[in-house]
Amino acid sequence: MTDQMQRIVLASRPDGAPRNDNFRLETVEIPALGDGEVLIKAHYFSLDPYMRGRMDDAKSYAAGIGIDDLMAGGAVGEVIASNAPEFVPGDFALTMTGWATHGIAKPVEMRKLDPALAPITTALGVLGMPGFTGWYGLTELGHPQKGETVVVGAATGPVGSMVGQVARMRGLRVVGIAGGEAKCSMATEVYGFDACIDHRAFEGARDLREALKQHCPDGIDIYFENVGGKVLEAVLPLMNAHGRIPLCGMIAWYNAGNLGANAAMESLTAPRLWQSILVKHLSVNGFIISNHFDRYPEFLREVGPAIAAGQVKHTEDIVEGLENAPAAFRGLLTGKNMGKLLVKVI
Amino acid sequence: MTDQMQRIVLASRPDGAPRNDNFRLETVEIPALGDGEVLIKAHYFSLDPYMRGRMDDAKSYAAGIGIDDLMAGGAVGEVIASNAPEFVPGDFALTMTGWATHGIAKPVEMRKLDPALAPITTALGVLGMPGFTGWYGLTELGHPQKGETVVVGAATGPVGSMVGQVARMRGLRVVGIAGGEAKCSMATEVYGFDACIDHRAFEGARDLREALKQHCPDGIDIYFENVGGKVLEAVLPLMNAHGRIPLCGMIAWYNAGNLGANAAMESLTAPRLWQSILVKHLSVNGFIISNHFDRYPEFLREVGPAIAAGQVKHTEDIVEGLENAPAAFRGLLTGKNMGKLLVKVI
């Protein structure tokens, strides 16, 4: 049995965009297994935008990560030792062992995976937290109606691509927004979006709005919000009365430091944002998917068969080697990845 | 029959706070009654904060009022001539004849009132649009649960006082915010709020927040929003996870001109506002009550008996004389009125 492991901890809090020296790679002893505990060798772990929020001291979804603490997050791996009757060596599991080669978990924190049913990586993406987030936000908070128009930011990410594909299955017009021509092609050609707009082609919100207008001739009924920034500013005036905005992220603002004056938009002030919600009778709902896992079986019932039938596709972007996680994570925050970003632990 | 009438029209658009010269009092001929039309002599008309939005050219709830057009709004009065079978002289009705001594309306735009059931002025306040707004927003969008805490801005206004009283009936802790000691006493002594905070006693949002904290030991579950500005900024960080914000007005910002930099708060930027909604999983719902009149009978069933039983109280602030409407309306926007503001047409 291995008795050493590697992991990445938070070395210091970033001021704006993370730098590599905000992280530190450590080699440590694997702690002795306690009663009821399981030792897992990670095969892949997940990099997700929400992790940026947890690097700050401020209140985010969950408590911030402490200095010198493990960069927490989802992972899939193989059980290599077990003091719990629920797991035996050779089992595969989804766990929260984070940016590390190994981790210790209790069965209550683990979900057993059957590699024969689906590749284990899908538990971190299309069938995992991101895919479920897209499905839940769209269907439960977006109230999609056939013939309506939905706009999705970060269209080719694991959340956005699920939103778009489920919306298409339900008969909506789907317009994506993504960074770069390659992603826009992926959105329309792989994921079947009706259109996708490259936000990098537009300097300001006003020009982006003009482009959106052409692709949303009947206005926007649902804006699935995981971006913020220029995209939000472009979208708001195009929202139809009684529009819905499920809000699960704001990646454009994660690196904005104190979210104060430097993060201000061209013209989007707090009063203007409030006014749009009021005047258009919008419904804006912030959510975090971990509060809604009771709905996961329902998600699987709809999306599982659609994946099997090829109606719902997904893309993985796999980086090899724990030591490359910080650079890959920095790239995620600037949109360098194509699809669900995973680190393969070699 | 009178053949002349007086009315107040919009003379020019205000830049910020309205001035008296944005209005003009006119004496005009009463037009001849067409087929199916009814002539009403107004007894009272309503002054409401939403009218400020309609004085701007920008898109608001409804189309803006045109220059030289009547200041539109709700009124109650007596039918003095009728070419419609539904009404005869002597009938009382709620109409939208606005800031005027007389008006012509069609039965479809009128609701017959029985002065023996309730004073006709209540159709403009506690039993009318403002009261119904408070009830609908609280019960339908606030999802009030016994034991929760609700904070209400403009606590002694006809909307806020309804919110507070219905919330008390349902077993919530009710904390009001109002301008001045007299209003705060009214909130606690007349309307039975658990507490009411005088926002004028605090320079900035931060101090106001400290005061709120003391009166909301378990945080805030519902913020009934009709104010915006400093109050919103004070409330946001105190919202509990899964809090609800029904949003039907933002009077603090109505006079803010373009809602741009001049209207910016101490620290409340658009990204910070968005972040609060995200991190606390808030549900923010803008609404305008005119979309929900199908629920009016339900409102009457709950609130009508409560008024009769003295459980729901109301206060009217009556100004005499059409010519005094502009000054009274300017006072409304700075909180000079105590209770539902009406103009009595002498």
- B3-14 pLDDT, tens per residue? 899 999 999 999
pLDDT at A263: 57
Task: Tell me the CA end-to-end span of chain B in Å, nearest whole number.
Answer: 16
Among B269, B283, B287, the residue to mutate for chain A (most A Cβ within 10 A): B269
Residue B267 contacts A where some CB pair is shorter than 8 Å: yes
Which of 3.60.20.10, 2.50.20.10, 3.40.50.720, 3.90.180.10 is the CATH number of B4-125+315-344?
3.90.180.10
Q: Test B263 with A250 for CB contact under 8 angstroms.
A: no
Give percent of chain B with pLDDT exceeding 90: 85
pLDDT surpassing 90 at residue B252 = no
* pLDDT-based confidence at residue B16 (cuts at 50, 70, 90): confident
pLDDT surpassing 70 at residue B62 = no
- A132-155 pLDDT, tens per residue? 999 999 999 999 999 999 999 999
* pLDDT-based confidence at residue A129 (cuts at 50, 70, 90): very high
Cα-based distances in Å from A173 to A113, A143, A220, A285, B302: 35, 14, 10, 21, 42
Cα-based distances in Å from B35 to A47, A159, B84: 71, 60, 7
pLDDT at B53: 86
**For residues A332 and A330, what is the distance between their CA atoms, to the nearest angstrom?**
5
* pLDDT-based confidence at residue B251 (cuts at 50, 70, 90): confident
The CATH 3.90.180.10 portion of chain B extends over 4-125+315-344
Chain A residues inside the 8 Å CB shell of B235: none
Q: Identify the residue with better confidence: B254 or A106.
A: A106
Average pLDDT over residues A27-48: 96
The CATH 3.40.50.720 portion of chain B extends over 129-289
CA distance B113 to chain A (A): 30
pLDDT surpassing 90 at residue A56 = no
CA distance B73 to chain A (A): 18
- A262-311 pLDDT, tens per residue? 555 668 889 999 999 999 999 999 999 988 999 999 999 999 999 989 99
| Class of domain A129-289 as given by CATH | alpha beta
CA distance A234 to chain B (A): 14
pLDDT at A62: 57
pLDDT at A16: 87
* pLDDT-based confidence at residue A203 (cuts at 50, 70, 90): confident
Q: Test A264 with B269 for CB contact under 8 angstroms.
A: yes
Q: Test B268 with A265 for CB contact under 8 angstroms.
A: no
- List own/partner pairs for B15-23 with CB under 8 A and 24 or more apart: B15/B257, B16/B255, B16/B256, B16/B257, B17/B255, B17/B330, B17/B333, B17/B334, B18/B52, B18/B55, B18/B255, B18/B326, B18/B329, B18/B330, B18/B333, B19/B330, B20/B326, B20/B327, B20/B330, B22/B55, B22/B326, B23/B71, B23/B325, B23/B326
Give percent of chain B with pLDDT exceeding 70: 94
Domain A4-124+315-344 carries which CATH code?
A: 3.90.180.10
- B217-248 pLDDT, tens per residue? 999 999 999 999 999 999 999 999 999 999 99
- B134-182 pLDDT, tens per residue? 999 999 999 999 999 999 999 999 999 999 999 999 999 999 999 999 9
**For residues B9 and A342, what is the distance between their CA atoms, to the nearest angstrom?**
65
Give percent of chain A with pLDDT exceeding 70: 94
The CATH 3.90.180.10 portion of chain A extends over 4-124+315-344
Average pLDDT over residues B65-81: 96
pLDDT surpassing 80 at residue B323 = yes
Average pLDDT over residues A225-253: 94
pLDDT surpassing 80 at residue A61 = no
β-pair partners for A284? A245, B284
- B24-41 pLDDT, tens per residue? 999 999 999 999 999 999
Q: Test A247 with B274 for CB contact under 8 angstroms.
A: yes
